[in-house]
């Protein structure tokens, strides 16, 4: 059986990225796919992009890649763009919006956010009247993805929302591996706070069209978030005080509100 690790939402956090890659290596997994958002929010956009391109066979474009490289609008986006080399920016521009593959007879699709926009948030923990329809929409082929006529996925794996989920609706399975960085999952041990990152392990026969056993496991890992928080403070990145607090405590801050308060468009 083949195993594939799927990571998402690294957000320039080299400390967390090193930790998750080490955890994956210890498990003997050598295939890694990335669902995007390699940059924005933490200390090391250049290093993270470099390491992800070195270690990941498949990389999906996230909203942070779109914002920083193709449509920078605020200081934080510009700061991240300027930390990247021209070669890195050109590679990022060419990243796909989705990736389809087969495992143990199942059609699997990777996207960053939704089939309609790389920036669209799709939440699945509110059991309201639109819960089922929101799930169904995730499995569509769209003009945005430019995949009208392609085989529909049996398993859809997406990132963006920073919370691990695993849902089954009739013959469809929806999975989010959670985020490597900027999660709100905090644990305190011996007076020190740690934030749990997470990723997904898929196990099955990669590339096979024959129905067979397949499994999916969400793995949580701990990294030295205070070390990364200190790296943030030592940079000249915009919003670094708020970014420090987010990594050190797991308390999320709304960048859009912050930028409006500062008078940026």
d(CA 162, CA 178) in angstroms, rounded, equals: 5
Contact present, 231 and 43 (Cβ < 8 Å): yes
Residue 13 has a pLDDT of 98
Residue 199 has a pLDDT of 98
Full domain range(s) for residue 126: 2-261
12: three-class secondary structure by DSSP: coil
CA-derived radius of gyration, the chain: 18
- Across the chain, what does the average pLDDT equal? 92
Q: Is pLDDT at 265 greater than 50 in this prediction?
A: no
| Cα angle 31-162-165, degrees, rounded to a multiple of 5 | 75
Residue 167: what are its φ and ψ, rounded to 5°?
-125, 145
> Which stretch of 117-131, 137-151, 186-200, 214-228 has the lowest confidence by average pLDDT?
117-131
pLDDT in tens, 129-156: 788 888 999 999 999 999 999 999 999 9
> Which stretch of 95-104, 220-229, 251-260 has the lowest confidence by average pLDDT?
251-260
- Whole-structure pTM over 0.75, yes or no? yes
Residue 264 has a pLDDT of 46
Strand 192-204 relative to strand 186-189: parallel, antiparallel, unpaired? antiparallel
First to last CA, the chain: 50
* Longest CA span, the chain: 57
Q: Read out DSSP for 196-211?
A: EEEEEEEEE-BT--S-
- The domain tally of the chain equals 1
Residue 256 has a pLDDT of 62
In the chain, the percentage of residues whose pLDDT exceeds 90 is 80
Average pLDDT of span 68-72? 93
Q: What is the CATH number for 222? A: 3.60.21.10
Beta bridge partners of 198: 220
d(CA 94, CA 101) in angstroms, rounded, equals: 19
4: three-class secondary structure by DSSP: strand
d(CA 7, CA 160) in angstroms, rounded, equals: 11
Residue 186 has a pLDDT of 83
Q: Is pLDDT at 261 greater than 60 in this prediction?
A: no
pLDDT in tens, 24-51: 999 999 999 999 999 999 999 999 999 9
Average pLDDT of span 61-82? 95
Contact present, 34 and 56 (Cβ < 8 Å): yes
Contact present, 120 and 158 (Cβ < 8 Å): no
Average pLDDT of span 75-88? 96
């Amino acid at each position: 059986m083949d195993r594939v690790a799927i990571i998402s939402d690294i957000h320039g956090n080299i400390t967390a990225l090193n930790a998750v890659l080490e955890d994956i290596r210890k498990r003997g997994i050598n295939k890694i796919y990335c669902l995007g958002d390699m940059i924005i929010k933490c200390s090391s956009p250049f290093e993270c992009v470099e390491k992800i391109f070195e270690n990941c066979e498949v990389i999906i474009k996230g909203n942070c890649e779109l914002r920083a490289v193709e449509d920078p609008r605020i200081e934080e986006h510009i700061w991240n763009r300027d930390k990247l080399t021209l070669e890195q920016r050109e590679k990022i521009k060419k990243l796909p919006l989705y990736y389809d593959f087969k495992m143990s007879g199942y059609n699997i699709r990777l996207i960053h956010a939704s089939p309609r926009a790389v920036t669209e948030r799709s939440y699945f923990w509110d059991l309201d009247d639109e819960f089922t329809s929101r799930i169904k929409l995730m499995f569509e082929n769209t003009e945005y993805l430019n995949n009208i006529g392609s085989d529909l996925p049996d398993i859809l794996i997406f990132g963006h929302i920073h919370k691990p989920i695993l849902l089954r609706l009739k013959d469809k399975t929806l999975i989010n591996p959670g985020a490597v960085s900027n999660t709100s999952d905090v644990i305190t041990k011996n007076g020190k706070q740690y934030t749990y990152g997470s990723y997904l392990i898929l196990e099955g026969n990669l590339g096979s069209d024959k129905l067979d056993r397949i499994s999916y496991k969400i793995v949580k890992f701990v990294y030295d978030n205070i070390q990364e928080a200190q790296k943030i403070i030592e940079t000249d990145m915009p919003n670094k005080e708020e970014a420090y607090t987010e990594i050190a405590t797991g308390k999320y801050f709304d960048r859009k509100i912050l930028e409006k308060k500062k008078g940026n468009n």
